[in-house]
């Protein structure tokens, strides 16, 4: 069974106690027979407790009769509903975004890093969200502290699980939290979807929006990063100096100049000193007469 079919299977049954009606005339349609006997008589049998109600766009209503789930109204329109013993539980099916609180995670090297995530999802099942799971996600009718809903707790757990598989940074060509943004987003989305499918939520994206070393090691890691950057820069400068010196000697020989071993050593020493020095070099011209 596909994920979409699994998410929608809980609400695929017909709604007992409700029938769609003409939105203009509000004319009641005939009921379909249910496979099991009904405790309540349908509208049209003379009961004075049937009313017409409109389900708005992007909403689902889970219908409970005497504490038992009876079906879900998932299509917008006007319905004639038997209200005797009825408890309606509503959800919004609009897309929404939840920003997770900053979480401290140990990366693959054991370094503490602080990550922030953002989840975009949409509700697909009123039954699962209001009956099967307690506090499935934020912005519903209940009042709860931030970060304590089912989706937020599962998202925080998934975030820690995935981020712990990668180092914060790695040499070129290796995977890290800094370079594998797309791969991380796919893993986060897939794992979170598996965990929150029971709520009827369809996860559209799960992205990292902030990533940094934890404050207790940030200063030390900054010094290390600066040292590594300095070493890489000096290595590049030395390599360039060697190439330039070798090229200069080859050009001198190509022009027919006699370059002795002593001259080669002197030219090499001078050029390497000038190129690799942090400060500007001051040329010195020898005026001594040859012996």
- Please provide the CATH number assigned to the domain covering 95-213: 3.30.479.30
Angle at 168 between CA 116 and CA 207, to 5 degrees: 35
pLDDT greater than 60 at residue 241: yes
Let me know: does 160 contact 192? Beta carbons within 8 Å: no
pLDDT the model gives residue 35: 25
Q: Domain extents for the chain?
A: 3-90, 95-213, 218-268
The reported pTM is 0.66
Contacts of 42 (CB under 8 A, 6+ apart): 17, 19, 31, 82
Long-range contacts for 165-171 (Cβ within 8 Å, ≥24 apart)?
165/108, 166/107, 166/108, 167/107, 167/108, 167/109, 167/111, 168/107, 168/109, 168/111, 168/113, 168/211, 168/213
pLDDT greater than 50 at residue 37: no
Q: Are strands 201-213 and 112-123 parallel, antiparallel or unpaired?
A: antiparallel
pLDDT digits (tens, 9 = 90+) for 42-81: 444 445 567 888 999 999 999 999 999 998 998 898 888 8
94-123: b (≥16 Cβ within 10 Å) or e: eebebebeebebebeeebebebbbebebeb
């Amino acid at each position: 069974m596909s994920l979409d079919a699994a998410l929608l299977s809980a609400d695929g049954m017909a709604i007992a106690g409700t029938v769609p009606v003409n939105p203009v005339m509000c004319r009641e349609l005939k009921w379909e027979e249910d496979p099991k006997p009904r405790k309540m008589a349908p509208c049209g049998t003379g009961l004075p407790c049937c009313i017409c109600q409109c389900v708005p766009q992007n909403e689902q209503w889970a219908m409970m009769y005497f504490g038992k789930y009876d079906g879900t109204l998932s299509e917008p329109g006007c319905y004639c509903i038997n209200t005797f013993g009825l408890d309606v539980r509503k959800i919004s099916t609009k897309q929404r975004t939840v920003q997770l609180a900053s979480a401290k995670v140990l990366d693959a090297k054991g370094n503490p890093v602080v990550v922030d995530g953002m989840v975009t999802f949409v509700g697909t099942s009123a039954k699962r969200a209001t009956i099967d799971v307690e506090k499935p996600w934020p912005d519903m009718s209940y009042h709860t502290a931030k970060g304590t809903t089912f989706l937020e707790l599962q998202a925080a757990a998934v975030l820690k699980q995935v981020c712990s598989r990668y180092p914060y940074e790695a040499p070129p060509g290796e995977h890290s939290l800094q370079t594998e943004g797309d791969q991380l987003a796919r893993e986060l989305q897939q794992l979170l979807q598996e965990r929150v499918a029971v709520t009827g939520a369809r996860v559209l994206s799960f992205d990292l929006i902030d990533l940094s070393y934890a404050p207790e090691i940030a200063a030390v890691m900054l010094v290390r990063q600066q040292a590594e950057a300095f070493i890489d820069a000096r290595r590049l400068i030395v390599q360039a100096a060697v190439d330039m010196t070798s090229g200069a000697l080859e050009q001198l020989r190509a022009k027919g100049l006699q370059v002795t071993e002593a001259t080669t050593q002197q030219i090499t020493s001078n050029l390497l000193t000038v190129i690799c020095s942090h400060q500007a070099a001051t040329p010195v011209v020898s005026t001594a007469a040859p012996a």
